[in-house]
Structures are given as structure tokens and as C-alpha cells.
Structure 1
């Protein structure tokens, strides 16, 4: 557990990363070229792609958008090929998605972006294997160890207090501590103990419940089978209900259904298909009638959007928070993994630009990653704030104005390839929100859709024939 001399730095240094999930692994990789890294994980990390006790949301649909995939590839050049070798699917966008938006069916335009699709356990395992399998990278892991708090003062964090599974307690020193522990982060409590300022926060809770089930896809479907996605309408009558079929490894479908207060799915497997048939369009329910269920229904209720504004806080020096420890989102848009990846890459880039441990370094990084966090937050909150009970006062005037703008862009995208590409640029996190305000996009929005609304899902004749004969 002692710090080691890293030849790339020429002196003893150690960073501590709290957590053993995807964010923690990518953060450790980003730091490893400049310092030794100690990853502290309270559970045991599995040796194969299997569920982790501390990641119950892994049962639900996860996608890695191209913006996040490119960030991970910049940190781990071989990771995308390793994911595909392990069975993950590279799905072209928007040609590989059949999606019903609140404004109507999207057309399937030519490929401009992509998504990587597989079970979350496989994502984590491939990335963990790459990070921890590299030789002499200075990354070590303490498993079965719980972080009890931060060491140091309100001005500077100097390490962490920990307890191992055998009850031993000690203080581990470091010149940087990164909280990548996820939704259960205790950093606000730890900061208070040091006498430091807790961050302002906001929560938007639509009461969303997720229910997911694995299926064996019907035999004989094309290998390029698309994502099927029926979105909720946040400004429609009644609860918001949605469903998605994600083709993943081993010829399986991961099916996730969701519903807000008063319209939640349940753990009852007999009710799963009926819920899907009752969505705004029954395509998800009709598809899964053709497939074989492979296990039980898994339900998650902790889906509130919660953001801690660390970038607006006078944090102690030598401390950072990344990933879900900063912001946790309604999983509808699937941005969590991609934001974590982009944040880790930004950390590495800031090290290259300003130098590891330079004055004000952690404050610069915390502000820089807020840009990635803010975009995903805008998508999630911009939807959920319209459901009854999501916030005390309901949507604000800025919320309503932003929603009107997004509604217009979405409607236009149903019949405009240019607008569909611009929206997908932002949705996949390859562009920032300012991209939607460029003159050509605004002109397209004023014109509206160039093609008429589709009245049926845009399945190809081959796809229709395959599913009908399944």
C-alpha cells in the first residue's frame, strides 16, 4: 500500500480513486501516466462478466454512445475491438434504430454515428481487464475495503480513512483523492466533517421505475437487427411509459420498460408483455411475444436525477469527484457511461496541459468536467421535470422555453436528415448544446420537417418478413 516511484514522474506520488466501477477504472487509467494509483473498492471485483452487488442498475439497458466510445478509445486504444470480440454490437445511427419520439417516428437515415451495445457487466469486465491487466502501469486495487472519510483539512485533502473487511482501520495518504464511488457517494458528509463546504444540489424525481428482462432473440433475424425504442411523452396525458429492445451479445435482447408515478411496471413476469403492449405503440410487446424469456424481471426504483454542483464549491485542494458521484441521471438517454468516459479523458488532458498537482489543478478539472455533466443533465431534467411531483414547483419558465425549442427540433428531425444528424451529434455527446444554435440548424427548425410524418415503424421489408416468420 505504500507509494512507489513511478519512472514517468521521477518521484514518489500516489493518487487514490474511491470505487471499483467503470468511472473508477477509467479515472485510474487517466492518472496512471503521471502517478501511481490505488483503487479502493469495498466489494470483490468479479473475474468474469457477472453482476456486482453494488451495481443493481446493471440489469437494465446501457449503451455507449460514440462520443463516449471515442473518449474510452483515447484512454484505452484496444477497448472497442475487445468489446466487439467479446460479443458487443456496434450499432450504426440512425440507420440502426427504430424510434418513436414524442413528435413521431424517426426515419432511419444513413449512418453518421454509432452506439456500442452489450450487457453492462460485459462493459465493466472488458474495461477492468484492460486497465488492471496492463503491466507496470502503477495501478493497484484494494478490494474488501470501505472508505470511512477524507483525511486532511478544509483546505487540503491528504488521503482517506479506511476499514478493511477484517476490521482493521488506517489512514492512507495521497496527493490526490478522486471520488468515483457512484450514486452512493458520501462526499458531502465527509466534506462537512473536515469543516469544508458541501456542494449545492438539485434533485428532479419523476418516480420512474425500470423493469428489465433478458430474452433470446427469435431465430433467423438479420444480424443487423436494430434497436427498438418507444419513448414516453412527458407532456402527454397520464404517466410517462417507455420501452426499448437492445440487441446484445450472444443473440439476446435486453428489454427495459419504464413508467413514472401511477404507471410503473412491476416485477411480475406475466405483466411484463402486457405493459409493453400498452405503450404509445405496441411494437415492443409484439416483438417480445416472438422471443423466449431467459430469466426473471429485475426492477429498479432509485432513478431520481441528482446533481451536486462541485464546480461551484470551494473544495479542498487535491480532491475531485467524477461520474455518478457528481450527477446521476434518469437512464432514459443512456448518458452515464459516456459522461464518465469524457470526464476521465478531460482529466488526462488537463494533466497534460497544466501538469499533475499544479496550483489550482483540481478546481480546473472540476469546472472542465461540468460541461459534460451539464449536457446530460439538461437532457434528463428537461424531460422529467414535466411529470407530476418531480419537483416542488413544477417546471420553470426556462424549462418550458427549452422544451418548446427541443420539441421543434425533434419534430423537424422526424422529416429532416440534416436536423436528425445535428440532434444525434448532441445526443451521442460528440457535440455540445451550442451546436443546436448554429444558423443552419435554426433555419431547418423554422422550416420544419421536409418529409411527411411516418404512420408506422420504419422496419425494412426484410425485417418485417423475418419477425413475422419467427
Structure 2
């Protein structure tokens, strides 16, 4: 939807080819099973969404979404210790994925220039290795036809078949990097205790990839309707339970701290457990290809997919859609080499999110074929040091949230002041437990 919105005003007609039948409101759909698990929009991503769909933030908040400050409204246990709830730097937006999609979808499709073709699947590109001229699509009845296009954007997500489509045109496979920690997700929605329904911080217990053995974690996100979306995670050998009866045992007994299990003791489960293993970090380096066809671009999870625990996928996709629009505005619709320049521009928002995601996952057994690269080891060591420093240094915590919120690039972590602070380490002693306030404990009966 955001890619379509980015193209409006440049193309005469924007056609969205969709396998599903899209619901009218915030309802589940078959083609988005990951919607049952934790989602969030960092402020950098929300800014991009608002840039493309003005008013979306206001509509989401009116529908019950939560806008929480970083790190004031977060209670997080990192591998290096508990983070303090420093004064607000940036923010994040929390809502169920169905509400988020429905809100954006309603605005995007309320435009006569955008045409939606449902129950239809793209089966290949039309054109040559030099230029794409359209796509072949297959309808629900099995009939195939060709849709001509001046520009084709692949936003088909993790299941993208772009490498196969490009190979069919005679182009080589792109360089690809995968980091698979074997992570599994189990999620459930709860009705929060009555006193905690007006707003509650994010609570996050992260695994420690250096501790040896499986990494187990959990996150509690307040969403609309006074509900909590709780996602449990575990790598190979430490997978969370897929059954309702065992769900609560995991955060109470298997995590580095039982706080999330304790919070859930007074909450009412509203759904069954949803389970998934679709968590591989996968990046296609299309921007490095020696040859790239005119009129074809790839963005979103089709370009780079991340372990969802870091919450960057939607934000990076939104920023990539903005980058696509800006290249078209600058160079003009149909300019020679436009697709290649757009592909390189869309890869830039990927970089910081990729390093943050893989700096942890790469150390789990079996995550990569050859183990961490030298660069990944160096990045991970520096990130570890920054995280430790941020537990007791508010200025470094602010710089980290600059990057994790996708408001600024990773270069802010390499300024002389940050490098010196990392060398010194935390300025305050570690916290002994989760920094929930007495009112927050009381709201859940603790």
C-alpha cells in the first residue's frame, strides 16, 4: 500500500496485484499470518508513513493505538542489564497489525488513480534482461494474462520470487546473506488488568546470545482495546510452547527474569496461541548487481527481511517507499537508469536495521554456514559495548535510540563523543530489577 502511494502522482494508474481478498476493516487475512505476532512502528518509520499517508497517525491514535516515548515508556532487560527509563528521545506506535493495515489501506485505496486486483498472483516478469515491461498474472480461475507497466515494484514480502524472475530474464542471482537463529515465535492476546488498560509501558526481556544455549525472550506490547499482545521467542532447543496451557509457564520459568509472566498472572487470555518459525534474517543485495533491468524495483521484506523481534521491518519498508518516491521526483518518471538508482536508494534504510538485527542473531549455533564474518564480529562487539554503556549513560542511550528508531543513521554511533563514552562505560551502577513504578506494579496487582 505504501509503495502504491509513493507512485501516485507520477503514474497515470497504479495497479496493486493482491493474492488475498482484502477485508473492509481491521480483520485477519490468510496472506498475513505474521499479523498475530508483535509489530511496532518506530518513530522513523511512522514519520515515513505520515509522509506518504498524511493523517494516518491521528487516525490510528483515535482508534486506540498507543504512542509511547523512548525509553521513558519501556522496561527492557538487554543482555547487558536493565535499561533505565531515560527522558523521552523518540517514540514508537503500537497497534494490532490488522488495525494498522486497515487504517492505511482505507486511505490509500480511496484514490481513483489506484486500482486493486484481488485474488490474483504475479507469476513472472515480462521483458528482457535490459528492461521489464510488465508482469504475468494468474487469476483465481487459473487464467493467465499480461499486465503492461512502466514500472514494476515487488513488495511481495518474504516469499518474493524476484531472484527466480530475474534469472528467467537471463540475469545472475543477487548476492544474498542469511542469518537464521532458528527462532520460533508464540503469541497471544490478553485483556490487561482493568487498572492497566489506560496505558502501560512496553516490557521486553531479551535473550543473551553469548550465554551459551538457546536464546529465550518475550515482549509485552499494549495495543488498542485495553489489550496486551504478548510474543514469546526461543531459538533452536529453546522454542516457546505452541499450546495455551504451557504459554504462561515459559515467561515465568524459562526467561532471564519472570516479570512478564508475573504481569500476565492478572490478565485474561483472549486468543489461542499463534506459532511461527518465519523469522530468518535474509537480505538480497540487488543494489550490487552488475546488471539491473530498467523499470523494476524491490522493496520491503522482499529486499530485506529481519528477525521480527527487532520490529524494524515495517519501518524500513516505509522509508524505502519514501526513497523510491524521492528518486522519481528528482530524476523524473521513466528516466534512464531510474530503477537502478531507486534500488540503491531503497537499500540505504536497510543498512542500520540489518546490522542491529544480525549483530545478535549471528552468534546462535547454526545461524550461518560459516559463522560470523569479521565485520559482524566487530559490529557486534561495539554494539555490545554501547548497550552496556547505555544502561548507565543517558547520552549514549539517546544515540542508540536515534538509530534503533531509524531517525538517524548508524554514523551517529561513531562520533568522538560516543566512542569516548563507550570506552569509559556506564556512569551509573546497574539496576537490580525491572524499573516499573509502584503505580505500575499496583495496576497489575503486584
CA separation in 2, counterparts of 1:426 and 1:123?
23
* Cα distance per residue 1:218-238 (max 9 Å; x no partner): 011262310000011111121
Alignment of 1:227-306 (within 5 A): 227-277=202-252, 278-306=254-282
Q: Deviations 1:202-230 (Å, cap 9, x if unpaired)?
A: 11111100000000000112623100000
Q: CA RMSD in A?
A: 1.1
Distance 1:184 1:402 in 2: 29
**1:148-169 Cα distance to aligned partner (Å, 9 max, x none):** 1000111110000111112322
1:402-441 Cα distance to aligned partner (Å, 9 max, x none): 2111111001100111011000000000111111001111
Partners of 2:159 and 2:152 in 1: CA distance: 17
Residue-pair matches, total: 443
- Deviation digits for residues 281-309 of structure 1, max 9, x if unmatched? 00011111110100110000121111111
Does the CA contact (< 8 Å) of 2:75 and 2:203 recur in 1? yes
Indicate conservation of the 8 Å contact 1:243/1:256, yes or no: yes
Where 1:100 maps in the other structure, the secondary structure is strand
1:308 corresponds to 2:284: yes
Shift of 1:383: 1.0
Q: Tell me the CA shift for residue 188 of structure 1.
A: 1.0
Contact 2:35/2:96 (<8 A) preserved: yes
Paired residue for 1:457?
434
TM-score, normalising length: structure 1 = 0.93
CA distance in structure 1 between the aligned counterparts of 2:331 and 2:374, rounded to whole angstroms: 40
What is the alpha-carbon distance in structure 2 between the residues aligned to residue 144 and residue 133 of structure 1?
A: 20
Which residue in 1 is equivalent to 2:45?
68
Q: How far off is 1:349 after superposition? A: 1.1
- The question of whether the paired residues in 2 share the 8 Å contact of 1:257 and 1:265 is answered with yes
* Distance across 1 between alignment mates of 2:429 and 2:419: 20
Please, which runs of 5 or more residues in structure 2 have no aligned partner? none
Within 5 Å, which residues of 2 pair with 1:55-454?
55-134=32-111, 136=112, 138-221=113-196, 223-277=198-252, 278-313=254-289, 314-454=291-431
Distance 2:118 2:107 in 1: 18
TM superposition score normalised by structure 2: 0.98
Equivalent residues of 1:222, 1:463 under 8 A apart: no
CA contact (8 A) 1:90 1:114 kept: yes
Partner residue in 2 for 1:40: 17
User: How far apart, CA to CA, are the structure 1 residues paired with 2:177 and 2:89?
Assistant: 34
User: d(CA) in 1 for partners of 2:104 and 2:153?
Assistant: 19
Query: Matched residues in 1 for 2:379 and 2:350: separation?
Result: 18
C-alpha displacement of 1:105: 0.4
Distance 2:25 2:121 in 1: 23
Q: Is the 8 A contact 2:42 2:315 kept in 1?
A: yes
Structure 1 stretches of 5 or more lacking a match?
1-24
Deviations 1:344-382 (A, max 9, x none): 011111111111211111100111111111211111111
Q: Say whether the 8 Å CA contact 2:207–2:216 is kept in structure 1.
A: yes
Rounded Cα–Cα distance in structure 2 between residues aligned with 1:98 and 1:309: 35
Q: Name the counterpart of 1:3.
A: none
Cα shift at 1:335: 0.2
Q: CA deviation at 1:139?
A: 0.7
In 2, Cα distance between equivalents of 1:421 and 1:381: 21
Deviation at 1:197, TM superposition (A): 2.2
State the distance in 2 between where 1:187 and 1:442 align: 40
CA contact (8 A) 1:94 1:110 kept: yes
SS of equivalent residue, structure 1 residue 372: helix
Name which of structure 1's ranges 71-80 and 442-451 shifts more when overlaid on structure 2.
442-451
The alignment partner of 1:110 has SS state of coil
8 Å Cα contact 2:196-2:444 kept in structure 1: yes
Q: Give 1:260 deviation, angstroms.
A: 0.2
Distance 2:442 2:271 in 1: 27
